[in-house]
Structure 1
Amino acid sequence: MDLQDQLKNLFPDHSFEESPDTKESQEKLWIQEDPIICKYEKRKGKPITILEGYTGADTDFKKLAKELKTRLSVGGSFKNDSIIIQGDYRDQIMSILKEKGFNVKRVGG
Protein backbone atom coordinates (compact mmCIF):
# COMPACT_ATOMS: atom_id res chain seq x y z
CA MET A 1 0.00 0.00 0.00
CA ASP A 2 1.58 3.24 -1.10
CA LEU A 3 1.16 6.70 0.36
CA GLN A 4 -1.63 7.67 -2.05
CA ASP A 5 -3.77 4.70 -0.95
CA GLN A 6 -3.16 5.50 2.71
CA LEU A 7 -4.26 9.09 2.18
CA LYS A 8 -7.41 7.93 0.40
CA ASN A 9 -8.23 5.68 3.37
CA LEU A 10 -7.70 8.51 5.84
CA PHE A 11 -9.57 11.15 3.82
CA PRO A 12 -12.19 9.42 1.65
CA ASP A 13 -14.11 12.64 0.82
CA HIS A 14 -11.04 14.54 -0.41
CA SER A 15 -10.26 14.57 -4.13
CA PHE A 16 -6.57 14.36 -4.98
CA GLU A 17 -5.23 16.34 -7.95
CA GLU A 18 -1.88 16.73 -9.65
CA SER A 19 0.64 18.92 -7.91
CA PRO A 20 0.91 22.48 -9.25
CA ASP A 21 4.58 21.93 -10.18
CA THR A 22 3.67 19.52 -12.98
CA LYS A 23 1.05 21.89 -14.37
CA GLU A 24 3.57 24.73 -14.30
CA SER A 25 6.11 22.84 -16.40
CA GLN A 26 3.47 22.11 -19.06
CA GLU A 27 2.83 25.80 -19.74
CA LYS A 28 4.15 27.09 -23.04
CA LEU A 29 6.86 29.73 -23.09
CA TRP A 30 6.96 32.46 -25.70
CA ILE A 31 9.31 31.35 -28.49
CA GLN A 32 11.20 34.14 -30.19
CA GLU A 33 12.75 34.41 -33.63
CA ASP A 34 16.08 35.92 -32.53
CA PRO A 35 18.53 33.46 -30.99
CA ILE A 36 19.27 33.35 -27.28
CA ILE A 37 22.97 33.97 -26.69
CA CYS A 38 24.71 31.32 -24.58
CA LYS A 39 28.16 32.40 -23.43
CA TYR A 40 30.84 31.25 -21.01
CA GLU A 41 32.75 33.44 -18.56
CA LYS A 42 34.89 33.13 -15.49
CA ARG A 43 34.11 35.32 -12.53
CA LYS A 44 36.46 35.24 -9.56
CA GLY A 45 38.07 32.14 -11.07
CA LYS A 46 34.82 30.16 -11.25
CA PRO A 47 33.09 29.22 -14.52
CA ILE A 48 29.57 30.44 -15.27
CA THR A 49 27.20 30.16 -18.21
CA ILE A 50 25.18 33.23 -19.18
CA LEU A 51 21.99 33.28 -21.27
CA GLU A 52 20.97 36.63 -22.78
CA GLY A 53 18.74 38.00 -25.49
CA TYR A 54 15.27 36.78 -24.49
CA THR A 55 12.66 39.29 -25.66
CA GLY A 56 9.59 37.80 -23.95
CA ALA A 57 8.17 38.53 -20.52
CA ASP A 58 10.43 38.44 -17.47
CA THR A 59 8.17 35.91 -15.75
CA ASP A 60 8.64 33.46 -18.65
CA PHE A 61 12.42 33.93 -18.50
CA LYS A 62 12.36 33.32 -14.73
CA LYS A 63 10.39 30.09 -15.26
CA LEU A 64 12.94 29.03 -17.85
CA ALA A 65 15.77 29.80 -15.40
CA LYS A 66 14.12 27.73 -12.69
CA GLU A 67 13.57 24.80 -15.03
CA LEU A 68 17.19 24.88 -16.25
CA LYS A 69 18.51 24.98 -12.69
CA THR A 70 16.37 22.03 -11.60
CA ARG A 71 17.11 19.91 -14.68
CA LEU A 72 20.87 20.51 -14.38
CA SER A 73 20.86 20.36 -10.54
CA VAL A 74 22.97 23.49 -10.24
CA GLY A 75 22.66 26.94 -8.74
CA GLY A 76 22.08 30.14 -10.59
CA SER A 77 20.15 33.38 -10.68
CA PHE A 78 18.19 35.78 -12.87
CA LYS A 79 19.71 39.26 -12.98
CA ASN A 80 19.59 42.16 -15.44
CA ASP A 81 17.55 40.27 -18.06
CA SER A 82 20.01 37.37 -18.14
CA ILE A 83 20.18 33.90 -16.60
CA ILE A 84 23.41 33.03 -14.80
CA ILE A 85 24.08 29.31 -14.27
CA GLN A 86 26.98 28.15 -12.10
CA GLY A 87 29.40 26.01 -14.10
CA ASP A 88 30.09 25.35 -17.78
CA TYR A 89 26.84 23.74 -19.01
CA ARG A 90 26.65 25.29 -22.49
CA ASP A 91 26.13 22.01 -24.35
CA GLN A 92 23.39 20.74 -22.01
CA ILE A 93 21.62 24.11 -21.90
CA MET A 94 21.71 24.43 -25.68
CA SER A 95 20.22 20.95 -26.12
CA ILE A 96 17.45 21.66 -23.57
CA LEU A 97 16.56 24.95 -25.26
CA LYS A 98 16.55 23.35 -28.72
CA GLU A 99 14.13 20.69 -27.40
CA LYS A 100 11.81 23.51 -26.36
CA GLY A 101 12.05 25.13 -29.80
CA PHE A 102 14.39 28.05 -29.09
CA ASN A 103 17.15 29.22 -31.43
CA VAL A 104 20.43 29.28 -29.51
CA LYS A 105 23.72 30.88 -30.52
CA ARG A 106 26.96 29.84 -28.81
CA VAL A 107 29.35 32.72 -28.10
CA GLY A 108 32.86 32.63 -26.65
CA GLY A 109 34.55 29.38 -27.60
Structure 2
Amino acid sequence: MTAKLNDLSDLRSLFPGDGSEETPAPRKETAADRAKSMAKLHVQLEKKGRKGKGVTVIKGFFHMRKDLQEYARELKARCGAGGTVKDDTIEIQGDHRSTAVEYFRAKGFRVTGG
Protein backbone atom coordinates (compact mmCIF):
# COMPACT_ATOMS: atom_id res chain seq x y z
CA MET A 1 0.00 0.00 0.00
CA THR A 2 1.30 3.46 -0.86
CA ALA A 3 1.72 6.26 1.62
CA LYS A 4 -0.64 9.21 1.50
CA LEU A 5 0.86 12.48 0.25
CA ASN A 6 0.16 15.38 2.61
CA ASP A 7 1.50 18.36 0.71
CA LEU A 8 3.35 19.39 -2.44
CA SER A 9 6.79 18.74 -0.96
CA ASP A 10 5.86 15.05 -0.64
CA LEU A 11 4.76 15.04 -4.26
CA ARG A 12 7.99 16.75 -5.35
CA SER A 13 10.02 13.98 -3.71
CA LEU A 14 8.47 11.42 -6.07
CA PHE A 15 10.03 12.98 -9.16
CA PRO A 16 13.73 13.03 -10.08
CA GLY A 17 15.64 16.28 -9.81
CA ASP A 18 15.64 18.80 -7.02
CA GLY A 19 13.16 21.19 -8.66
CA SER A 20 15.73 23.91 -9.17
CA GLU A 21 15.71 23.68 -12.97
CA GLU A 22 16.05 26.97 -14.73
CA THR A 23 12.97 28.36 -16.34
CA PRO A 24 13.29 28.86 -20.09
CA ALA A 25 14.17 32.35 -21.25
CA PRO A 26 11.21 34.39 -22.44
CA ARG A 27 10.68 34.24 -26.18
CA LYS A 28 11.92 37.27 -28.06
CA GLU A 29 9.35 39.18 -30.07
CA THR A 30 9.75 38.47 -33.78
CA ALA A 31 9.00 40.78 -36.67
CA ALA A 32 5.79 38.83 -37.36
CA ASP A 33 4.61 39.30 -33.76
CA ARG A 34 5.39 43.00 -33.97
CA ALA A 35 3.48 43.31 -37.24
CA LYS A 36 0.48 41.56 -35.68
CA SER A 37 0.38 43.83 -32.66
CA MET A 38 0.73 46.93 -34.84
CA ALA A 39 -1.80 45.82 -37.46
CA LYS A 40 -5.32 47.04 -36.96
CA LEU A 41 -7.81 44.89 -38.84
CA HIS A 42 -11.21 46.15 -39.94
CA VAL A 43 -14.04 43.59 -40.15
CA GLN A 44 -17.19 44.59 -42.00
CA LEU A 45 -20.14 43.17 -43.92
CA GLU A 46 -20.46 44.27 -47.54
CA LYS A 47 -23.55 43.77 -49.70
CA LYS A 48 -23.05 46.45 -52.33
CA GLY A 49 -22.34 45.09 -55.80
CA ARG A 50 -22.91 41.49 -54.71
CA LYS A 51 -26.58 41.05 -55.72
CA GLY A 52 -27.73 41.39 -52.12
CA LYS A 53 -25.49 38.62 -50.81
CA GLY A 54 -23.48 39.49 -47.73
CA VAL A 55 -19.73 39.02 -47.63
CA THR A 56 -17.56 39.46 -44.55
CA VAL A 57 -14.51 41.51 -45.49
CA ILE A 58 -11.38 41.71 -43.32
CA LYS A 59 -8.97 44.53 -44.28
CA GLY A 60 -5.65 45.75 -42.93
CA PHE A 61 -3.14 42.97 -43.65
CA PHE A 62 -0.23 45.17 -44.67
CA HIS A 63 3.18 43.46 -44.85
CA MET A 64 1.71 40.02 -44.07
CA ARG A 65 1.04 38.62 -47.53
CA LYS A 66 2.64 35.23 -46.91
CA ASP A 67 0.43 34.56 -43.86
CA LEU A 68 -2.73 35.84 -45.52
CA GLN A 69 -3.51 32.58 -47.35
CA GLU A 70 -3.08 30.58 -44.13
CA TYR A 71 -5.36 32.90 -42.14
CA ALA A 72 -7.98 32.73 -44.89
CA ARG A 73 -7.85 28.92 -45.02
CA GLU A 74 -8.25 28.57 -41.24
CA LEU A 75 -11.04 31.17 -41.07
CA LYS A 76 -12.98 29.56 -43.95
CA ALA A 77 -12.80 26.20 -42.18
CA ARG A 78 -13.92 27.73 -38.88
CA CYS A 79 -16.87 29.53 -40.53
CA GLY A 80 -17.80 26.61 -42.76
CA ALA A 81 -17.99 28.95 -45.74
CA GLY A 82 -16.15 29.75 -48.92
CA GLY A 83 -13.99 32.75 -49.43
CA THR A 84 -11.05 34.28 -51.19
CA VAL A 85 -8.03 36.52 -50.79
CA LYS A 86 -7.95 39.70 -52.89
CA ASP A 87 -5.07 42.15 -52.58
CA ASP A 88 -4.64 42.70 -48.82
CA THR A 89 -8.15 41.56 -47.83
CA ILE A 90 -9.89 38.32 -46.93
CA GLU A 91 -13.48 37.83 -48.11
CA ILE A 92 -15.68 35.17 -46.49
CA GLN A 93 -19.11 34.38 -47.94
CA GLY A 94 -21.92 35.23 -45.52
CA ASP A 95 -22.14 37.21 -42.30
CA HIS A 96 -19.31 35.83 -40.13
CA ARG A 97 -18.18 39.06 -38.49
CA SER A 98 -18.29 37.79 -34.90
CA THR A 99 -16.37 34.62 -35.78
CA ALA A 100 -13.73 36.64 -37.65
CA VAL A 101 -13.30 39.10 -34.78
CA GLU A 102 -12.95 36.23 -32.28
CA TYR A 103 -10.45 34.39 -34.49
CA PHE A 104 -8.14 37.35 -35.12
CA ARG A 105 -8.21 38.55 -31.51
CA ALA A 106 -7.12 35.06 -30.46
CA LYS A 107 -4.25 35.36 -32.97
CA GLY A 108 -3.07 38.60 -31.33
CA PHE A 109 -4.44 41.22 -33.73
CA ARG A 110 -6.20 44.44 -32.81
CA VAL A 111 -9.64 44.27 -34.45
CA THR A 112 -12.31 46.90 -35.05
CA GLY A 113 -15.81 46.44 -36.42
CA GLY A 114 -17.83 43.32 -36.29
Shorter-chain-normalised TM-score: which range? 0.5 to 0.7
What TM-score do the two structures reach when normalised by structure 1? 0.66
Given candidates 78, 86, 89, the residue that maps to 2:93 is 86
Q: Deviations over 1:69-103 (max 9, x none)?
A: 01111000001211000000101110111111111
CA distance in 1, matches of 2:58, 2:43: 5
What TM-score do the two structures reach when normalised by structure 2? 0.64
CA distance in 2, matches of 1:81, 1:54: 5
CA distance in 2, matches of 1:48, 1:93: 12
Deviation at 1:34, TM superposition (A): 3.0
The answer for the alignment partner of 2:103 in structure 1 is 96
Contact 1:32 1:55 in 2 (8 A): no
- Alignment partner of 1:34 is 2:39: yes
Contact 2:56 2:91 in 1 (8 A): yes
Deviation at 1:104, TM superposition (A): 0.5
RMSD value, Cα? 1.5
Identity %: 35
Q: Deviations over 1:18-39 (max 9, x none)?
A: xxxxxxxxxxx64141310111
Deviation >3 Å, runs of 4+: none
Equivalences, count? 79
Listed as ranges, the gaps of 5+ residues in structure 2 are: 1-31
* SS of equivalent to 2:54: strand
- For 1:81, the aligned partner's letter is D
* SS of equivalent to 1:46: coil
